[in-house]
Structure 1
């Protein structure tokens, strides 16, 4: 294995998670789950009467997603430092990070928009706010694809093949 590949597999600091166990992938489940659920709540606020409780729940979910995104971005940034510059993996990481920052900014704007209209939470979520959330989720899906490319195609922060082979050794019985 060449040095750039080996470098991209090693953590920059223990805060990013140990070798073969990065923290970033588990933390991204918080904003993804919260933001998907917020869109479900937004749409559902039009299907029940009164829908205000779902609109309020959606605001809380957007806030939770924002907090989770900040945590995921912190360790994701550490993982980006592990990738050698001027490589396709590094460029992919930069686009992945940029899209995630744009999505987080979109949700922050949506959160502020919702808080600026406190009386609106008594009824269903306005269509414009639902569209903003849907667009942000679409961009997040593209970014998630790129994150998968970083891990599964380029092997960033993934154990090397020799280490992975231990899991398929039929002679070994310990796990």
Structure 2
């Protein structure tokens, strides 16, 4: 299940996901500091990070969507996890998009309460953490985006073949 969208043989989706994660976190930090001190700089910072996060998420979603729908078997556990991963990311994008819509007109004031932005960014970061956990599950457990060598693929096939024997628990043991 190697990535379908690559650059010089490297999957693009994992290259891009760090940017919205960092920007979403920066948005939350900006709103938190703005809530504590009311300085316009921090609201502007939150808005700028929010723009970067939403834009970065849209860019990262394109190869992620292609990898999911073109590279993962339809009825596999990986597809089920990938759908939840994508759904959490879309939810996070929606939350940050709503936040951006609420605050974009406040770049130069007038001051606005940080409470809605703080709540939306907190929920968005929480969704992003959940999506990240599931994304790493796709890499770690299903090797999505991992190009195995011939020896690794052989070993993986052997492990997959033996896996039911490993999880069988004998009551006598």
TM-score by length of 1: 0.78
How many residues in Structure 1 have an aligned counterpart in Structure 2? 152
User: Whole-Å Cα distance in 2 between the matches of residues 90 and 119 of structure 1?
Assistant: 41
Query: Pick from 58, 65, 71: which aligns with 1:82?
Result: 71
Change in CA separation of 1:18 and 1:44 when aligned onto 2, cut-off 3 Å: same
Q: Secondary structure, in 3 states, of the residue corresponding to 1:86?
A: coil
1:1-175 pair list within 5 angstroms: 8-9=1-2, 11-12=3-4, 15-19=5-9, 21-48=10-37, 50-80=38-68, 81-115=70-104, 118=106, 121-123=109-111, 125-160=113-148, 162=150
Q: Shift in Å at residue 164 of structure 1?
A: 6.0
Q: Deviation above 2 Å: which 4+ runs of structure 1?
A: 15-19, 118-125, 161-165
- Mapped to 2, the partners of 1:90 and 1:106 lie a distance apart of 24
Work out the CA distance in 1 between the residues paired with 2:50 and 2:152.
37
Cα distance change of structure 1 residues 159 and 122 upon mapping to structure 2, 3 Å threshold: same
**Aligned equivalents of 1:84, 1:134: Cα separation in 2:** 33
Q: Per the alignment, in what secondary structure is the counterpart of residue 157 of structure 1?
A: coil
In structure 1, runs of 5+ residues without a counterpart are: 1-7, 166-175
Deviation for aligned residue 1:123: 3.9
Deviation at 1:17, TM superposition (A): 3.5
Counterpart Cα distance in 2 of 1:32 and 1:121: 27
